């Protein structure tokens, strides 16, 4: 009812909203957990939604883990019976994009964590092995693999000048695809610190190559298309719940979903209000339909 209304919602109204939806898409960090700690009540909420016949999907821009490792994380944090098929990560979806959308052949030069490499291999996509360039190797004499047809960049704590330089060389070939797992600028860590996100590494490569990456993760529509290709899923009967206006809420709006901001993560109610009150048409894609303090509020609403 409250399209782009930024409406704080709980109790009966939340009950009615949930009644009207068949699918709930949850962002992960800041929504159902923060780092290694589950959001209080989140395991019970996921279980209750399923008991009420809802389908639940997890849509994360975090490319660092393969799906199987998410299954283990869910179990460790107290979520019962979460299966790989419910988990859509930017690493998994990047591999799916290469396999199913561009029917990729050749090798991928991947900048990213093991999650990215494993998902690519699981999808049957060849990846350039990381080699230890010896002491006398530099960008003017390093080996380049002639079979590389795509560069994929994601969060990588081993990011280096050499990786950036090699990626740049591959991207000189305009036929070489340029993909990014996600555009996230940074992520909160414990103690008020932040870590740079994939988007910051992508920006370096975009500048150096004078090209623009195709973004797979939120807010791009592709992750929803990936879910919809595997499950029968109508946008109108789906709700996207996220903690970051610039990724999760824009994603939901791009895909025609109802959108909900939860206040257990990055974005605040005030930021949503600022977008809403700006009156600028291009800012309305950042305004959620609904706002909850925490998804823990779903429990009471489901019981209502």
Residues engaged in binding Ca ion (CB under 5 A): 27, 29-30, 243
Name the binder of 64 from Ca ion, ligand PLP, none, CB < 5-8 A by kind: ligand PLP
What tokens were used for 25? 């898409």
Give the total of residues touching ligand PLP (CB under 6 A).
12
**Partner from Ca ion, ligand PLP, none contacting 259, C-beta within 5 to 8 A by type:** none
The span from the CA of 198 to the CA of 220, in Å, is 14
Q: With binding defined as CB under 6 A, does residue 184 bind ligand PLP?
A: yes
- Residue 27 among the catalytic residues: yes
User: In the set 23, 61, 94, 262, which binds ligand PLP (CB under 6 A)?
Assistant: 61
Q: Does 29 qualify as catalytic in the annotation?
A: yes
Give whichever of 67 and 107 is closer to Ca ion, judged by the CB atom: 67
Question: What is the C-alpha to C-alpha distance for residues 296 and 179, in angstroms, rounded to an integer?
Answer: 36
CB 10 within 8 A of CB 297: yes
Tell me the closest approach of the beta carbon of residue 247 to Ca ion, in angstroms: 7
Residue 155, contacted partner among Ca ion, ligand PLP, none, CB below 5-8 A by kind: ligand PLP
Which residues ranging from 26 to 45 are in contact with ligand PLP (CB under 6 A)?
27-30
Distances (CA, A) of 192 to 14, 188, 189: 32, 7, 6
Between CA 104 and CA 95 the distance in angstroms is 10
Residue 118: C-alpha distances to residues 63, 115, 125, 142, 193 (Å): 10, 5, 10, 25, 28
Q: Do residues 93 and 217 touch, judged by C-beta distance below 8 A? A: yes
Q: Which is nearer to ligand PLP, 49 or 148 (CB)?
A: 49
Annotated catalytic residues are 27, 29
- Contacts with ligand PLP by CB under 6 A lie at 27-30, 60-62, 64, 155, 184, 187, 197
């Amino acid at each position: 009812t409250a399209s782009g209304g930024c409406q704080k919602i709980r109790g009966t109204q939340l009950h009615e909203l949930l009644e009207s939806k068949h699918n709930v898409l949850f962002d992960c960090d800041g929504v159902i957990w923060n780092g290694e700690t589950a959001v209080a009540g989140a395991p019970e909420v996921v279980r209750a939604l399923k008991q009420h016949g809802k389908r639940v999907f997890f849509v994360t821009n975090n490319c660092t883990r393969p799906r199987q490792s998410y299954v283990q994380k869910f179990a460790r944090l107290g979520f019962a019976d979460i299966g790989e098929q419910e988990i859509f990560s930017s690493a998994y979806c990047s591999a799916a994009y290469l396999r199913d959308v561009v029917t990729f052949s050749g090798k991928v030069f991947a900048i990213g964590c093991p999650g990215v490499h494993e998902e690519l291999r699981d999808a049957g996509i060849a990846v350039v092995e990381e080699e230890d360039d010896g002491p006398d190797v530099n960008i003017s004499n390093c080996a380049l693999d002639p079979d590389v047809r795509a560069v994929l960049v994601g969060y990588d704590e081993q990011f280096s000048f050499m990786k950036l330089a090699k990626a740049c060389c591959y991207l000189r070939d305009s036929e070489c695809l340029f993909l990014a797992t996600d555009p996230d600028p940074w992520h909160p860590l414990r103690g008020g610190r932040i870590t740079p996100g994939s988007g910051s590494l992508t920006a370096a490569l975009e500048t150096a190559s004078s090209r623009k990456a195709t973004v797979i993760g939120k807010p791009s529509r592709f992750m929803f298309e990936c879910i919809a290709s595997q499950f029968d899923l109508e946008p109108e009967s789906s709700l996207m719940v996220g903690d970051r206006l610039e990724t999760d809420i824009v994603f939901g709006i791009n895909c025609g979903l109802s959108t909900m901001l939860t206040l257990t993560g990055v974005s605040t109610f005030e930021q949503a209000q600022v977008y809403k009150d700006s009156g600028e048409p291009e800012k309305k894609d950042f305004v959620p339909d609904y706002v909850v303090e925490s998804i823990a509020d779903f429990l009471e609403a489901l019981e209502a």
